[in-house]
Structure 1
Amino acid sequence: MRALPSRIYPVVDRADWVATLGQAGAKLIQLRLKDMAEDALRAEIRRGAALARTHGVSLVLNDYWRIAIEEGLDFIHLGQEDLDEADLPAIRRAGLRLGVSTHSHDELQRALDVRPDYVALGPVWPTKLKKMPWGPQGVERLREWKRLVGDLPLVAIGGITLARAPSCIAAGADCVSAVSDFIRMPDPAGQVRAWLDATRPADVTGGTIT
């Protein structure tokens, strides 16, 4: 099983963030675009892909698997509902690495059945970014998920901050992801560097952070 290229995984809503965060050291970035016309959407994805190549970033596209195939991207991330319509054989033939969101044991089993390259568990803590039917999973669920997935990379997401990130790694997450704690901070590039420092193996302890 191939490891993810970074312990940190910012999620961004504009292609320009790929340059800002990539220059600061983020090597795995998800581009999550919503409510855009087709032409504008494709142009933004192409710009994100170009910036990712320039800055040595593995770009993950959320949802739009057809465009990810057509544009030759590195990764696609799918939610459970996306699995209903995604052409998984086509995704594999294109060489795309696949990430899948999970929130329950049933969803985890469904994800494992499609042989992803990573699974994400969330929300670990409460999040206000979008309304979700699942309550906070907590770091103990991360420990359980890691036991269940074994060598498969595990991504923690949802309500994670700089202070909370080390406890996710200590609980078994291979990578920690966030939106607000990167792009909504006064110094996003500085935040990337701080997250990289906080998630280095020597700096991670087993403490629980709430």
Structure 2
Amino acid sequence: MNALAQKFYPVVDDARWVNRLGAAGARFIQLRVKDLPEPELRAQVRAARDYAAKHDVCLVLNDFWQLALEEGVSYIHLGQEDLDTADMPAIRKGGLRVGISTHCHEELERALTFAPDYVALGPVWETRLKKMAFGPQGVEKLGEWKRLIGSMPLVAIGGITLQRAPLCLAAGADCVSAVSAFTQHADPEGQVKAWLAATSV
């Protein structure tokens, strides 16, 4: 499937979320896990991969490109710091698709040299989930980024709520990404349905 045909993109910290959100209708999900011993990390990746296959989800693994190659995950997301050490020839030879985070013009220029499959811009609004070196970029910058990258898909992330998602899409984003809107909500499955409705117009 064309992963970015779906216009919202949950980011989760446990493989079980891939099962829950995938069953509810999410089709493009990133697994972002940190600070786990290698055996537990690999177990998370394998479980997420299997849940993704069960629900026809395009799974994106954050950071760990070697594990993606070893465990059959076809998409990775890299931050700017990951680009310092990632073996891009090996990543491309292995057939991995790649998304890259950007926060400023210099980072965008660097990301584009790697011909990514999508570019992410954030934080669009202030976010408390992750300490950021960059302040809010604002909705207007999404339009600027889209003009610069052309047909390459653009993902908006950072402080995005159900109510803000349509603003990002209208400004030029092809997809909106969120963390707490799903994993910290009392009804995550209901949120998937609501985001499907809000982003399908």
- Per the TM superposition, whether the score is higher than 0.5 is yes
What are the residue-to-residue correspondences of 1:1-210 with 2, within 5 Å? 4-201=4-201
CA distance in 2, matches of 1:96, 1:130: 26
The one-character-per-residue Cα deviations of 1:24-81 (angstroms, maximum 9, x if unpaired) are 1110000000110000100110000000000000000000010001111120000000
CA distance in 2, matches of 1:25, 1:37: 31
CA distance in 2, matches of 1:132, 1:8: 22
3-state DSSP of counterpart to 1:48: helix
CA distance in 1, matches of 2:76, 2:103: 18
CA distance in 2, matches of 1:5, 1:22: 15
The offset of 1:3, in angstroms, is: 6.4
Letter of the aligned partner of 2:125 in structure 1? W
Q: Which runs of 5+ in 2 are unaligned?
A: none
Letter of the aligned partner of 1:173 in structure 2? A
Letter of the aligned partner of 1:151 in structure 2? S
CA distance in 2, matches of 1:81, 1:5: 28
Would the alpha carbon gap of residues 167 and 174 (structure 1) be closer, same or farther in structure 2, given more than 3 Å must change? same
CA distance in 1, matches of 2:3, 2:130: 29
3-state DSSP of counterpart to 1:120: strand
Does the 8 Å contact 2:3/2:58 carry over to 1?
Answer: no
CA distance in 2, matches of 1:123, 1:77: 16
CA distance in 2, matches of 1:194, 1:101: 26
Poorly superposed stretches of 4+, deviation over 4 Å: none
Letter of the aligned partner of 1:133 in structure 2? A
Task: Normalising by structure 2, report the TM-score.
Answer: 0.98
Does the 8 Å contact 2:3/2:28 carry over to 1?
Answer: no
CA distance in 1, matches of 2:174, 2:24: 20
What value does the CA root-mean-square deviation take over the aligned residues?
0.9
Letter of the aligned partner of 1:164 in structure 2? R
Q: How many residues align?
A: 200
Q: Which runs of 5+ in 1 are unaligned?
A: 202-210
The corresponding residue for 1:204 is none
CA distance in 2, matches of 1:172, 1:198: 16
3-state DSSP of counterpart to 1:4: helix
